[in-house]
Structure 1
Amino acid sequence: MTEADPDRIDDALIALRRILRATELHERDLAQAVGLTPAKLRVLQLLALKEREGATPTALAYQMGVSQATVTALVDQLVKRGFAARHRSAADRRQTDVVITAEGASALATAPNALQQQFVDGFAAMADWEQAMMIATLERVAAMLNAQWIDAAPVLATGDIRVGRPRT
């Protein structure tokens, strides 16, 4: 194994810091614009796709790749703000569906473009081999940081997306 070029190490660390800083800046812009975290915005986006019928917390948790407890906490906060509402499922009265409200749709419409959407658009424009290479590289970076085992949702945010835990 050869010794790494110090300039390349610095370049890699600078690129990582830029990615982290972009997520921090996006979170701040989102909070200032509509008072939402990226995770809450994602819940609203998923609910907007379902419009009238809504979605169960279980379905939201599965789609976001987080626990049902995390989704419940996010939904609790959205309901408290008037951005979402809960109601009994018409198909199964034992289940509760979550729907987006007019206030939630308005907040969603005025929210800045989600950072992950910018990534999705750029990633989709890549050739298949570039996408595969990007995934392999990012997975390698995660492994280098001992982060390959961390449970993570496809939401670009800093800190823990679980509600109620202070950010550092």
Structure 2
Amino acid sequence: MSRVNVGDAAPALSLEGTRGPVDIATLAGRRVIVYFFPKAFSPVCTDQVCSYRDELPAITAADAVVYGVSPDPVDELSRFADQFDLGHALLSDPDATTAKRWGAWGPKTVNGQAMVGLLRSTFVVGPDGTVESADYEVDGRADAAAQLAGLSAR
């Protein structure tokens, strides 16, 4: 699976989400954070999603929008978003087509078991549609703060 690199044009992303459909092509002129997380309601994923919720005012002040992408169905993501009072949309990628396109799908080890699945990854897409940051196998608990620091440095 090829990875997305800084300077690449952002891959296509058009998915259904907790706040309706999202197409990244319509967000030209905005900085967009796209993070991929494996499973709603799992401990690290919950920490990651909630950290983006907590940092959302600062992310918005930096003139950026944020979307979380998971293989979970929209109804599961909606329950997750409601339970944790999220202020940003979660997008459903049930067949992992988008994750594969972004290089966020591949071999990994979970609890000592080798498998293929979603790689916790985060990307920042600039207003011109190019990838400004591509981080793979991120620390879910520190991801939002790291991305916010990167936005502040731009």
The answer, yes or no, to whether TM exceeds 0.5 is: no
Q: Which has the larger radius of gyration?
A: 1
Q: Which has the higher contact order (CA 8 A, sep 6+)?
A: 2
TM-score by length of 1: 0.31
TM-score by length of 2: 0.32
Greater helix share, structure number: 1
Greater strand share, structure number: 2
